[in-house]
Amino acid sequence: MINVTKSYLPDLDEYTNYLKGIWERVHLTNDGPLLRQLENEMKAVLGVKHLKFCSNGTVVLQMALKALDITKEVITTPFSYVATTNVLLWEGCTPVFADITPDDFCIDPAKIEPLITENTQAILATHVYGNACQIEQIQAIADKHNLKVIYDAAHTFGASYNGQSILSYGDISTCSFHATKVFHTVEGGCIITNDDELAQKLHFYRSFGHRNDDYFSVGINAKNSEFHAAMGLCVLPKVPDLIAARKQVFGYYDDRLDFSRISRPTLLPGVEYNYAYYPVVFDSEETLLRVVEALKAQEIMPRRYFYPSLNTLPFAQIPGSGQSCPISEDVSLRVLALPMYPDLAEADVDRIASIVNKAVALVDAA
């Protein structure tokens, strides 16, 4: 079976060498030495000032909202993983959906400003598939209206915009280190800011608000363990090679797919991509479903990512708002992530592309 992704695992001996140190120290979690080492190494790689390694990519979004005192309306994207909307609802905020651009599927800055009200406090945007949002335009709107900017940058590790890590933008950026990501720690995530005061808040939020034996602030259990940090320390040095391998697989698809009826989202100029995903867009949902059926018949498992458009979720509706996002609603029905991982064989890409092309041609013939 070929899944939509496959986790990279380092040499087992390399990982167990870290485990030996954990056994010797008996320091398993709670801001341990491997966690601090990983944080420092990631800060150096990414060129950011403050980075906190946490338990997953969802809890860091919750921490971001709390640290910025966001409790009211947040303008956000309907085209993202459900966690982006869930955290807003979970924290008692009101998601206000701005539609996406038809070329890169990121939030459309032109759709943001008309949605701003006296209750708007922040913009929560997703760098879709590891591609950057229109950062300058979003920041200009935020500055004009005194709004905070939070980026769900779950897909962007190893990607840059104008020579800087995409994770370095916004008041706060968050990232996921789930096992399926370009860089992973099995489970995990991080929260990044260049603001000293915010960083101090986030430090205490991560661990129940503790300062020694006292409680400095409110907090949650967002800690991560030495075991997860050990995996990160093994994977981090390999990221450039993993991205290079992904780029090669990406090229295989580009060479083999028939783009007369298939398209891909475009990259923002200035982005150095990490090749996190290979999304393709078909001319209709009917074609997509035919392709999915044909792939699964050969034990190839793509993923409808992202689907559905988040503004259509029944639990995300604002009474009387009718938040229509026609571009997102349309694209979410037609986009499919094909298998993408560093050691996906060229022969397998050839087979996948052949199945896709044939399924699309059969729909044409019908």
Q: List the domain boundaries for the chain.
A: 12-237, 238-365
pLDDT recorded at residue 321: 54
pTM for the predicted model, two decimal places: 0.96
Rg (CA), the chain: 21
CATH architecture of 12-237: 3-Layer(aba) Sandwich (3.40)
CATH number of 238-365: 3.90.1150.10
Helix (H, G, I), strand (E, B) or coil at 328: helix
Q: Which residues of 284-300 are buried (b: 16+ CB within 10 A; e: fewer)?
A: eeebbbbbbebbeeeeb
Note whether 256 and 354 are within 8 A (CB): yes
Tell me the CA distances in angstroms from 227 to 19, 28, 120, 287, one per residue in order: 7, 7, 40, 44
Question: Mean pLDDT for each 10-residue chunk of the chain (366 residues)?
Answer: 97 98 96 97 97 98 97 97 96 95 98 96 98 98 98 98 98 98 98 96 91 81 97 98 98 97 96 98 97 98 97 78 87 98 98 97 75
Query: In this structure, what are the phi and psi dihedrals at residue 12, rounded to the nearest 5 degrees?
Result: -60, -40
Number of helices followed by number of strands (H, E) in the chain: 12, 14
Structure tokens at 135: 């950062």
Residue 305 and residue 129: Cα distance in Å, rounded? 9
Give burial (CB, 10 Å; 0-12/13-18/19+) of 164.
Answer: middle
Give the residue among 124, 126, 194, 123 at the shortest CA–CA distance from 164.
Answer: 194
